[in-house]
Amino acid sequence: MSKAHFGLIGLGVMGENLVLNAESNGFSSVVYNRTYSKTAEFLDGRGLGKQITGASDLKDFVDKLERPRRILMMIKAGPAIDAVIDQISPYLQEGDLLIDGGNSEFRDTERRVLDLESRSFGFIGMGISGGAKGALEGPSMMPGGTKSSYLAIESLLSKMAAQVEDGPCVTYVGPGGSGHFVKTVHNGIEYGIEQILAEAYDLMKRICGMDCSQIADVMAQWNKTEELSSYLVEITEICLRKKDSDKEGDIVEKILDKAGQKGTGLWTVMSALELGASVPTIYAALNARVLSSMKEQRILAESILHGPSQKNLVSDNTSIDTASIMDAVVLSSIASYAQGMELLRIASNDYNYNLDMPSIAQIWKGGCIIRSRLLKRIQDAFNLNPELSNLLLDPWFSDQVNRRISGLAEVVAAAAENGVPVPCFSSTLDYLNSYRTGRLPQNLVQAMRDCFGSHTYQRVDKEGIFHTEWLS
């Protein structure tokens, strides 16, 4: 019997869909799952009549694959990956390749690449985005590891990936854990945009008095614009239109307001803090999830703490229109991408990843959760200037900021006056105002540091390091 082209470990929804995707692109496959009953169920169900066989143990699985073996692991990130590597490596031979397609922490991937390569195997850490549908129909894939390992799977991945006008949504990202790092940052941007759309919904509901169906109509309009046309706006409309199964009311209004998280948003922010990258919009989205999970405390606080009192307000500008909310959504989305790309640029230098920014924008244009028309503009911006330090400095993006910042400011002001939290919008406004300010008040911070701790400071009028005896 001829050997299979491709092996998959882990028959969760993503694993099943990816192997069906590979098979439909002409790659005969063999599958393995820790519990064989799951394998049997898949082979009798969705895998029936396909060029897919099953294996009951890892030796049998490895034996059924042609060499060099190409094995995708779709299992829970963390110790389970190391456990499977330990179990399968006795059966592997020189040149065989393991691919981790989960949301692994990039430092774990760095370690695994070094470990596996020291044993003459290949290891690719590959971010995969697109959810279950994307996995089946074409995800965006972010593989990192050695180039030679990537080349062994390039033809397979190029066929499996989403296709956009300038090619498949996969590329060789870079060495070591770079693929998983790029996926982590993708998810940080994803957190940002999800929260931005949630803030827009909250303002339209609580300040504009709109219901889910009216807000969905606005999302539908936004999805037709170059600035906001995106998968996340598209599914926001779908979520807002969905009725509860009993047809009584909107399902969104019945969902508990506590957002979960699996770690990638946190890792994005941790990396940014470590690398000295400024990601306030993304951080605000992460923190919004943290605060949302404190439901019991919030309920208690609601009866104790009050918002701004309308009668004390200096202005009565407490209402907003959806055009201004669109300004806020556009600029905050742009800020999320700009902050994510900036983090990638800094990490690329620090970790020697040599990331190609236009290629990253390109592979995010299709298949993934943050796919949007804006990514074409982002790709163009980095093609125009590969040394671009921040997307906001590109002419198209700076024009967006200059045209929309007043709208964003109006929205943040109205939200503040109404006591409605808009963490991403207000962080974005502060980010933009800080970034465009040539002189910030950190001169005074430096003075204080020098006053109490002799930390020294530099001057604007002459070179050198200075200290003042502040208290004498």
Report, as residue numbers or ranges, the catalytic residues.
Answer: 183, 190
Q: Which of 397, 376, 382 is nearest to 348 (CA)?
A: 382
Burial class (CB in 10 A: 0-12, 13-18, 19+), 154: middle
For the bound state, the minimum distance from the C-beta of residue 372 to ligand 6PG, rounded and expressed in Å, comes to 13
Tell me how far CA of residue 289 lies from CA of 10, 257, 265, 266, in angstroms.
29, 9, 10, 11
Q: For residues 193 and 203, which CB has a smaller minimum distance to ligand 6PG in the complex?
A: 193
Q: If binding is defined by CB under 6 A, does position 441 make contact with ligand 6PG?
A: no
Q: For residues 191 and 353, which CB has a smaller minimum distance to ligand 6PG in the complex?
A: 191
Q: Rounded CA gap, 364 and 371, in Å? A: 6
* Segment interacting with ligand 6PG (CB under 6 A) among 5-13, 57-65, 254-262, 311-319: 254-262
Q: Rounded CA gap, 308 and 426, in Å? A: 16
Residue 212 identity: C
Q: For residues 264 and 428, which CB has a smaller minimum distance to ligand 6PG in the complex?
A: 264
For the bound state, the minimum distance from the C-beta of residue 86 to ligand 6PG, rounded and expressed in Å, comes to 25
Q: For residues 361 and 368, which CB has a smaller minimum distance to ligand 6PG in the complex?
A: 368
Q: If binding is defined by CB under 6 A, does position 18 make contact with ligand 6PG?
A: no
Residue 74 identity: M
Q: Which residues pair with 123 in a beta bridge?
A: 98
Q: Longest C-alpha distance within the chain, in Å?
A: 89
For the bound state, the minimum distance from the C-beta of residue 62 to ligand 6PG, rounded and expressed in Å, comes to 28
Q: Binding string, 207-246, against ligand 6PG, x = CB under 6 A?
A: ----------------------------------------
Site residues (CB under 6 A) for ligand 6PG, limited to 330-369: 368-369
Sign of the Cα pseudo-torsion (395, 400, 401, 406, in order) = positive
Q: If binding is defined by CB under 6 A, does position 260 make contact with ligand 6PG?
A: yes
Q: If binding is defined by CB under 6 A, does position 292 make contact with ligand 6PG?
A: no
In angstroms, how far is CA 262 from the centroid of its own chain? 12
Q: Rounded CA gap, 144 and 91, in Å? A: 24
Q: Which of 412, 220, 224, 264 is nearest to 332 (CA)?
A: 412
Q: If binding is defined by CB under 6 A, does position 261 make contact with ligand 6PG?
A: yes
In the list 21, 33, 184, 187, the residue contacting ligand 6PG (rule: CB under 6 A) is 187
Contact call for residues 282 and 269 (beta carbons, < 8 A): yes
In the list 131, 167, 358, 421, the residue contacting ligand 6PG (rule: CB under 6 A) is 131
Q: Which residues pair with 129 in a beta bridge?
A: 140
For the bound state, the minimum distance from the C-beta of residue 469 to ligand 6PG, rounded and expressed in Å, comes to 51
Q: If binding is defined by CB under 6 A, does position 89 make contact with ligand 6PG?
A: no
> Does 358 sit behind a cis peptide bond, omega within 30 degrees of 0 on the bond before it?
no
Site residues (CB under 6 A) for ligand 6PG, limited to 97-126: 103
Q: Rounded CA gap, 333 and 310, in Å? A: 30
* Segment interacting with ligand 6PG (CB under 6 A) among 79-87, 258-266, 425-433, 456-464: 258-266
Q: Is 51 helix (H, G, I), strand (E, B) or coil?
A: coil
* Segment interacting with ligand 6PG (CB under 6 A) among 55-63, 127-135, 333-341, 441-449: 127-135
Indicate the helix (H) or strand (E) that contains 373.
Answer: none
Contact call for residues 70 and 149 (beta carbons, < 8 A): no
- Residue 50's region, left for phi above 0, alpha for psi from -120 to 50, else beta, is beta
For the bound state, the minimum distance from the C-beta of residue 259 to ligand 6PG, rounded and expressed in Å, comes to 7
Q: If binding is defined by CB under 6 A, does position 372 make contact with ligand 6PG?
A: no
In the list 28, 109, 129, 333, the residue contacting ligand 6PG (rule: CB under 6 A) is 129
* Segment interacting with ligand 6PG (CB under 6 A) among 261-269, 297-305, 321-329, 389-397: 261-269
In the list 262, 403, 455, 467, the residue contacting ligand 6PG (rule: CB under 6 A) is 262
Q: Rounded CA gap, 470 and 338, in Å? A: 40
Q: If binding is defined by CB under 6 A, does position 190 make contact with ligand 6PG?
A: yes
Q: What is the 3-state secondary structure (H, E, C) of 230-298?
A: EHHHHHHHHHHHCECCCCCCEHHHHCCCCCCCCCHHHHHHHHHHHHCCCCHHHHHHHHHHHHHCCHHHH
* Segment interacting with ligand 6PG (CB under 6 A) among 43-51, 256-264, 337-345, 354-362: 256-264
Which residue is closest to ligand 6PG by CB? 129
* Segment interacting with ligand 6PG (CB under 6 A) among 73-81, 92-100, 262-270, 408-416: 262-270
Determine the size of the site formed for ligand 6PG (CB under 6 A).
13
Contact call for residues 2 and 67 (beta carbons, < 8 A): no
* Segment interacting with ligand 6PG (CB under 6 A) among 260-268, 271-279, 299-307, 315-323: 260-268
For the bound state, the minimum distance from the C-beta of residue 5 to ligand 6PG, rounded and expressed in Å, comes to 25
**Binding region for ligand 6PG (CB under 6 A):** 103, 129-131, 187, 190, 260-262, 264-265, 368-369
